[in-house]
Structures are given as C-alpha cells and as structure tokens.
Amino acid sequence: MQVTRRETILAGTAIAILAGIGISPASADPLPHDQASDRELRLSISDGFTRQTWFYAGQVWSETRDTLVFHEDETIRITIANDQHGDRVIALGEDQMIRVKQGEVRSVVMRIASLKTFSIAVADQPMFSRTVQVRANYGAHANVA
C-alpha cells in the first residue's frame, strides 16, 4: 500500500498537534535522558539536519550526509538544537516525538532495536528530515552451532 503525500502531511499534522499538547503514542517508550549511550549525535534545525556532529569515545567529527547510519542494538543520544523562530515538534521515527522550543536544545536517548529504516523530521516540514538506515549487528544474527 502506497501512502500519498497528503496522507503523510495529515499524519504529521496530527502528530504535531498531539505532541504540542503533551500527548505521544502509547508505544513511545523514551529512555531516561541520563542513560548511558554508545554514541551521541548533534543536529541543528536551521540546516535541515544536513550537518551531523558525532561524539564517540572522546572523538568528535562532523559530516554532511543525506542518510544517517545507526547500528542495531546501539544506544544513541540525539541532541537537537532549535535555532529557528518558533517551537518545533521533532518526530524520531513513528513512535517518539519531542517538542523543542525556540532557542532550546533537547536530548533524547534512543535504543535501536530494529533494522527498520525510519526518519528524523520536523513535523509538517518534510524538507527538514533525514532518513536513518539501520545496519545489522551481525553478532546478534550469527548462526551459533
């Protein structure tokens, strides 16, 4: 079944309205913000999430990519800066949303438990989104005799 652009926009609008009044899906189970993470990703709304800054084991690097790559069974802290006018609702896949006020920086910790591709997007602004590809953790899928 193919989803039309109109259906996508309507779904995004509904998500934004619900998140704006503090309601998120029952299946969204955010982890505590202070939980340890394997890596940290920092994104900025003003550049449409095109520039990504990664932190891992004391190393810092930036890159510009259309597709983000996470790994199965990885825990990632995602920090988003709202450096634009007005509040923004950010959808992290289909199950988790955060509201980031103007000038605010918010973090959320995500456990990547599925190989399903998802996106990080500003609700109702499709140009501010990045696809997330999840690479398999082959150790978890290895055949053990």
E runs forming strands in 57-139: 59-64, 67-71, 74-81, 88-92, 96-100, 105-112, 118-122, 125-135
Residue pair 97/19 in contact (Cβ under 8 Å)? The answer is yes
- Residue from 121, 105, 123, 99 nearest 20 by CA: 99
pTM above 0.75, yes or no: no
For 2-14, the pLDDT digits (tens) are 556 666 666 666 6
Q: Which amino acid is present at 30?
A: P
What are the tens digits of pLDDT across the range 27-85? 444 444 556 788 999 999 988 888 899 998 889 989 888 888 888 888 999 999 999 88
CATH for 5-141, among 2.60.40.10, 2.40.50.140, 2.60.40.420, 3.40.50.300? 2.60.40.420
Q: Please state the domain extents for the chain.
A: 5-141
